[in-house]
Structure formats: C-alpha cells, structure tokens
Amino acid sequence: MPELPEVETVRKGLAKRLLGEVIAHIGLRREGLRFPFPKGFKKGLEGRRIEQIDRRAKYLLIRLDNDSTWLVHLGMTGKFTLFSHNDIPEEYGKHDHVIVTMSDGGVAVYNDVRRFGFMDLIVAGGEQNHHHFANLGCEPLSEDFDAKALCKSLEGKKSPIKNALLDQRVVAGLGNIYVCEILFRAGVSPLRISSSIAGKSPQVTKRAELLVHETKQVLIEAIEAGGSTISDFAAVDGDLGYFAHSFRVYGKEGEACHNSRCSGIVSRISQGGRSTFFCPKCQH
DNA sequence: ATTGAGTCCTGAAGGC
DNA sequence: TGCCTTCAGGACTCAA
C-alpha cells in the first residue's frame, strides 16, 4: 500500500483520534509481523499516553509519554482501522494482528495481509541510531531536498535513476508508483543513468531541478487527495484517497501518453524486479 | 562500495 | 465448482 502520502494520511487520521488517549491494552494475535515483536513490546505500550504522532519517510512514529516511541511501518498491506467504543467488531479477521484498546473504549485494529509491515518500540533517545533510520536520506518535502542535494547523492551512481529514486538512502519515502509519476512529469527516462543527472552543465542542472520540483509537487497533490488507493488501501478513518485517479503513467500500459503533444504509448518494463511505466517518446 | 537477485507473505486476476 | 502462473504500493539480506 503505502508510500509517503498514504503514510502521512494515516498519520493524520491516527492523530485526530488518538492524540492524548491512553493505551489500555495491546492484543497481539501472533508473535510478530515481518519481524517478531520486540521483548517487552506489549508491556511497554500499555498504560502510555499518546502525545504526538510523527512521520519519517514511510515510518509512523507514535510518541509516548515516557519519551519512548512506537515505531510502525505498514509494509505493503498494513492498515489501521479505528472503532469507537460503541462500534467495536464482535470478532476479528485472520489478518487483524494487533488490537489496540484505548482507555476511552475505542479500538485501533492493525491489519496486514502480507505481513511485510513491522513494529518496534524505541526507548528514549534511541531513534538517531536506530537501524531503520541510520541510513535514511532526506525528507523529500523538506528544504534539505533540493537539486544540489539530489545531485550529490546521484554522483557516480551507475544505476538507473528509477532505482536510485526508490533507494531510501537517496531520498526517503518514495515508492514505485510515485517514482514513475515523478519521472513522467519531469520528462526523465527511468532508464537514464543516475550520474548523468549529477553533472554541472545547465541542461543537467535543469533535470535535477525538475525532478526535485515534480517530486514535491506529486507528493503534495497526493497528500491533499488524502493518499491514493490501489486495491486495499483504506485511510485510517475509512475514507479512500482519490489520487489514483490522477496517475498519468502508473498502470497505464498501452494507453496514449497523457502529454497531449506527444503521440507516444505508455510502456511497461521491469527494473530491479519492479514494474516501471513510462512514455519512451517524451521521457529522455 | 554498489548493485542485482532472492526472500518474506497472502490474495487477486487472468489464461486455460 | 478448478488449477496454474503472474503480479502487487516495501525493504532486508546476501553474493558478486
């Protein structure tokens, strides 16, 4: 499911309902997700008040009142569904793995069909050195992410730009869908070698600036749309996002290029084991 | 040091 | 009502 905009949507949805609430009970319906739940996970969460909910890349950071942080990654199919106290389901499905009961009687259910998601509990001050964060690149929507920074991380890279943008060390939070959309909007071929974007000539700089600009633009639009939906993404409050309707190349194999002045046909190739959709005619 | 391939897991969709 | 293959929004681990 979730790339940065979807995680941001979930963050907002959770914050709206859970901020200031106390976690009364954690029900773990299996030993772990992608990784086992850490030792003391349940005990560490129960009784804690949720003070703040942040996002870093595709990670949710749920700040607790003892300065520890509940880390959640949604993987491909992770989602939260919220129920108020008079609306709690009578039974849970087989992929409802974590049941969070709040002290107001409300329940947050974490469901994850493929179980690629994971959770951790980070003690106070442990975030900087946490292995999931140590090598993360900059936030694409922050001021740190500009053409200069992008060029620096692409310097000397021989991999295609598509693969580089998916690399969380280059820039953190982009996934397969948005990278396809960004490259299309920027008119940059997914096959272009990364280092060719990192040079000093005006033409090269222009490409980097365009990539940065379109990255921010696409993410902002998607966040505004409330996150996108492919097949199984439901925003935390049950609302579906609509950005999927705005895809210009993703999933559009065989269709005419969205660019009205281009007569190209969207094609689909495989890069690093992932599908890439692009217009071979107007992306260079 | 980088890069690509294989891996985890389940379910949906399409071909026959 | 089948069976088989392919594919899916992520990212870790390993080998070259």
**Residues A46-101: pLDDT tens digits?**
999 999 999 999 999 999 999 999 999 999 999 999 999 998 999 999 999 999 99
Q: State which fold the A147-278 domain adopts.
A: Helicase, Ruva Protein; domain 3 (1.10.8)
pLDDT band at A141 (very low <50, low <70, confident <90, very high): very high
Cα–Cα distance, A190 to A188 (Å, whole number): 6
- Bases of chain B with protein Cβ within 7 A: 2-12
Domain boundaries, chain A: 4-122, 147-278
Q: For residue A55, indicate whether it is catalytic.
A: no
Question: A209-215: long-range contacts (C-beta < 8 A, 24 or more apart)?
Answer: A209/A147, A210/A186, A211/A147, A211/A150, A211/A161, A211/A165, A211/A182, A211/A183, A211/A186, A212/A145, A212/A146, A212/A147, A212/A150, A213/A186, A214/A182, A214/A185, A214/A186, A215/A140, A215/A145, A215/A165, A215/A171, A215/A174, A215/A178, A215/A182
Tell me whether residue A255 is one of the annotated catalytic residues.
no
d(CA A278, C1' C14) / Å: 31
A4-122 CATH choice from 1.10.10.10, 3.20.190.10, 1.20.120.530, 3.10.129.10: 3.20.190.10
Burial of A194 (0-12, 13-18, 19+ CB in 10 A): buried
A39 counts as catalytic: no
- Give the global pTM: 0.95
> Residue A235: its pLDDT value, please?
54
Nucleotide nearest to A273 (CA to C1'): B5
Structure token pair of residue A135: 């090598």
Asked whether residue A212 carries a pLDDT value surpassing 90, the answer given is yes
> Residue A227 pLDDT more than 90?
no
Q: Determine the protein residue whose CA lies at the shortest distance from the C1' of C10.
A: A75
Q: Is the CB of A226 under 7 A from strand C?
A: no
Instruction: Select which of A17, A55, A58, A207 is catalytic.
Output: A58
The one catalytic residue among A63, A274, A280, A281:
A274
Chain C nucleotides near the protein (CB, 7 A):
7-12
**Residues forming beta bridges with residue A134, ordered by sequence position:** none
Task: List beta partners, residue A149.
Answer: none
Q: Is A245 exposed, middle or buried (0-12, 13-18, 19+ CB in 10 A)?
A: exposed
Asked, colleague to colleague, whether A4-122 and A147-278 share their fold, the answer is no
Residue A1 has what pLDDT? 58
pLDDT score, position A108: 94
- Higher per-residue pLDDT: A245 or A231: A245
Nearest protein residue to nucleotide B10 (CA to C1' distance) is A114
Q: Who touches strand B, with Cβ under 7 Å?
A: A 34, 94-95, 113-116, 156-160, 163-164, 194, 231, 272-273
- Does the annotation mark A2 as catalytic? yes
Which pLDDT score is estimated for A228?
57
